[in-house]
Chain A
Amino acid sequence: MLDVHDLTITFGPTTAVRGVSLTAAAGTVTGVLGANGAGKTSTLLGILARAPRQSGRITFDGADVTGFDTGALVRAGIALCPENRRLFPNMSIEDNLLLGAYGTGRATRRTRLRDTYDRFGWVATRRAEPAGRLSGGQQQTVAIARALMSAPRLLLLDEPSSGLSPVAVDEVGAVLADIARDGTALVLVEQNVRLVRALCATAYVLAHGQVTASGPVPELLSDTAVSDAYLGTTA
């Protein structure tokens, strides 16, 4: 589904990502782990053409989408649920959701809105409220729902559990499992190892912008060197 090859991203003098390659398959959750500043967010932004790529080839669904701009990538079926959720706090929940389907026709937007309300019942009852009034967990749900409004086949998620209570983390986990079950490919950047264990079959570990380990999650996380390096910085 997604094939990233040799991605390098620099911000001025800083190289945030160097030569990262990764793949993600439909209906699975692929984890990306790493300490603060390892380059996880930059990798996701790079895939969506929101960070300056120095090198890299992005293949999506067998087609080379390297030269696409963000709008074209979203239309092709890639969506990002960004770090810190980034809802528009002064706009209504419904406006936030509709923005996720920007560029589609009115009828499509209405259908997807209805599907969203079917899936997340409480969102419908609060749709006119400003998004900023929701709790962290609720905002995360709306952020995921907003990303789904573009009907993506690949969903990139940047630390959806951050700042949430354990109960809210479990709820988000259940939602993500559900999305994957529908056949969507998920790439999950996470520091919450429990969530990674619960959802991901395979994962990559990033350090200083490079992939230092990758493979099936149980083995990857039982590798003491990896868990020390990783958990050591998050404890």
Chain B
Amino acid sequence: MSQVLVNGVFLGCLFAVVAVGLTLVYGVMEVPNFAHAGVIVLSAYTTWSASAAGLPFALAALAGIACGALVSVLTEVLAYRWIIDRPAAAPAVALGLMLILQNVALRLYGGEGRSLDTPYDRVLLRLGGVSLSGVKAALVVLAVVSLLALHLLLSRTSLGRAMRAVAQDREAAAILGIPMRRQYALAFLIAGVLGGVAAIAYAPTFQVSPYMADEVLLSAFVVVVLGGLGSVWGAVAGGLVLGVVEGLGSAYLSPAYQSAFGFLLLVSILVLRPGGLRSTNARRVA
């Protein structure tokens, strides 16, 4: 049982990191950023190829995160920025961007899966009857550290305060002279960094491929809706809940339906609490 919970928490951390990136972008710009999956894929490939070229893992990981940040900002500057006044076009543009990024990966690296080796591959942590692989432990640590860093940024800095303001009332923020474009780019930059963290953290347990992030993206969208659109803490809580539910479901019912449990949870929550777990009337990033 506790092993199942630990695995659920592992999954939950992964969902939370991906979902927070999505919800931040949604909060600030109202875009359902499917291209996030492509950002994760390119980060993972960058890390893989840098480490295959002989770079130490830590540097390869940094290269992957930098790539995620760059690609994410590029999607905003080159695409989303131009449709800010036409929100109806956003889902189509987002899907198109996702396909483009996946095909870039396919073109550059081919379709076969690659395995990403890490220095902590063979580490196995044991605590009582519970065991956790080094890879999973690293993911949990990375997730906690990056979410704490984000929390500090949003709550303690002038930029973070401005980002929360933009998410709550874009026009009121603009009237105060807060530069919107910088806020949009910053939201995508943070999302890209989180995407890169997610990529290097979970690629070792799965495989690096152009479609590696599809299922995670779907789960993360479930989490975003669960947590209330635009709510960062909702996304963290929603990620953990979904991770544990999927973990329990696949352990005690059937692993084949792992993602289905998530959607079941989503549908039941939407029926019971249409605003998400943390129901807010106004959009917020906090």
Please list the residues of chain A having a beta carbon within 8 angstroms of any beta carbon in chain B: 48, 50, 70-71, 73-75, 80, 82, 86-91, 95, 98-100, 102-103, 106, 109, 146, 150
**What 0/1 readout, one digit per residue, does chain B (141-179) give for beta carbons within 8 Å of chain A?**
000000000000000001001101100110111111111
Minimal Cβ-Cβ distance residue in B for A103: B177
Binds A, one of B54-62, B71-79, B198-206, B278-286: B278-286
Would you call B161 and A95 a contact (CB within 8 A)? yes
Please list the residues of chain B having a beta carbon within 8 angstroms of any beta carbon in chain A: 158, 161-162, 164-165, 168-169, 171-179, 280, 282, 284, 286
Q: How far is the CA of A75 from the CA of B161 in the complex (A)?
A: 19
Taking CB atoms, residues of chain A closer than 8 Å to B179 are 71
Contact of B162 among A73, A99, A109 (CB under 8 A): A99
Tell me the smallest distance from the CB of A71 to a CB of chain B, in Å. Answer: 4
Contacts A90-B284, A99-B178 known; 6 new A-B pairs at CB < 8 A: A50-B174, A86-B172, A88-B173, A90-B168, A95-B164, A102-B178
With A88-B164, A99-B161 as known contacts, state yes or no: A50 contacts B178, CB within 8 Å.
no
With A50-B174, A103-B177 as known contacts, state yes or no: A90 contacts B282, CB within 8 Å.
yes
Q: How far is the CA of A128 from the CA of B121 in the complex (A)?
A: 47
Would you call B174 and A74 a contact (CB within 8 A)? no
Taking CB atoms, residues of chain B closer than 8 Å to A95 are 161, 164-165
Q: How far is the CA of A91 from the CA of B164 in the complex (A)?
A: 8
Tell me the smallest distance from the CB of B184 to a CB of chain A, in Å. Answer: 14
Closest 4 CB pairs of A and B: A74-B177, A86-B172, A71-B177, A88-B168
With A50-B171, A91-B164, A91-B168 as known contacts, state yes or no: A99 contacts B282, CB within 8 Å.
no
Contact of B165 among A48, A99, A150 (CB under 8 A): A99
7 residue pairs bridging A and B, Cβ less than 8 Å apart: A71-B178, A86-B172, A88-B168, A91-B165, A95-B161, A103-B178, A150-B177
With A50-B171, A90-B280, A91-B168 as known contacts, state yes or no: A74 contacts B158, CB within 8 Å.
no
Would you call B175 and A50 a contact (CB within 8 A)? yes
Contact of B175 among A70, A75, A103, A109 (CB under 8 A): A70
Would you call B172 and A82 a contact (CB within 8 A)? yes
Taking CB atoms, residues of chain A closer than 8 Å to B176 are 74, 99-100, 102, 146, 150
Q: How far is the CA of A50 from the CA of B282 in the complex (A)?
A: 22
Taking CB atoms, residues of chain A closer than 8 Å to B175 are 48, 50, 70, 80, 82, 86
Tell me the smallest distance from the CB of B116 to a CB of chain A, in Å. Answer: 40
Minimal Cβ-Cβ distance residue in B for A132: B282
- Per DSSP, are chain B's interface residues mostly helix, strand or loop, or mixed? helix
Q: How far is the CA of A74 from the CA of B178 in the complex (A)?
A: 9
With A98-B158, A99-B161, A102-B158 as known contacts, state yes or no: A88 contacts B169, CB within 8 Å.
yes
Minimal Cβ-Cβ distance residue in A for B172: A86
Q: How far is the CA of A95 from the CA of B160 in the complex (A)?
A: 11
Q: How far is the CA of A100 from the CA of B177 in the complex (A)?
A: 8
Tell me the smallest distance from the CB of A76 to a CB of chain B, in Å. Answer: 10
Would you call B173 and A99 a contact (CB within 8 A)? yes
Q: How far is the CA of A89 from the CA of B164 in the complex (A)?
A: 11
Q: How far is the CA of A91 from the CA of B157 in the complex (A)?
A: 14
Minimal Cβ-Cβ distance residue in A for B162: A102
Q: How far is the CA of A50 from the CA of B173 in the complex (A)?
A: 11
Taking CB atoms, residues of chain A closer than 8 Å to B178 are 71, 99, 102-103
Taking CB atoms, residues of chain A closer than 8 Å to B164 are 88, 91, 95
Tell me the smallest distance from the CB of A78 to a CB of chain B, in Å. Answer: 9
Tell me the smallest distance from the CB of A33 to a CB of chain B, in Å. Answer: 22
Taking CB atoms, residues of chain B closer than 8 Å to A86 are 169, 171-172, 175
Tell me the smallest distance from the CB of A154 to a CB of chain B, in Å. Answer: 14
Contact of A88 among B158, B172, B174, B177 (CB under 8 A): B172
Taking CB atoms, residues of chain B closer than 8 Å to A88 are 164-165, 168-169, 172-173
Q: How far is the CA of A74 from the CA of B215 in the complex (A)?
A: 46
Would you call A75 and B177 a contact (CB within 8 A)? yes
Tell me the smallest distance from the CB of B88 to a CB of chain A, in Å. Answer: 17
Q: How far is the CA of A75 from the CA of B176 in the complex (A)?
A: 10
Q: How far is the CA of A98 from the CA of B162 in the complex (A)?
A: 9
With A88-B169, A91-B165 as known contacts, state yes or no: A102 contacts B177, CB within 8 Å.
yes
Tell me the smallest distance from the CB of A150 to a CB of chain B, in Å. Answer: 7
Tell me the smallest distance from the CB of B151 to a CB of chain A, in Å. Answer: 15
Q: How far is the CA of A71 from the CA of B176 in the complex (A)?
A: 7
Q: How far is the CA of A50 from the CA of B161 in the complex (A)?
A: 21
Minimal Cβ-Cβ distance residue in A for B168: A88
Tell me the smallest distance from the CB of A60 to a CB of chain B, in Å. Answer: 14
Taking CB atoms, residues of chain B closer than 8 Å to A99 are 161-162, 165, 173, 176, 178
Tell me the smallest distance from the CB of A58 to a CB of chain B, in Å. Answer: 16
Tell me the smallest distance from the CB of A91 to a CB of chain B, in Å. Answer: 6
Tell me the smallest distance from the CB of B247 to a CB of chain A, in Å. Answer: 32
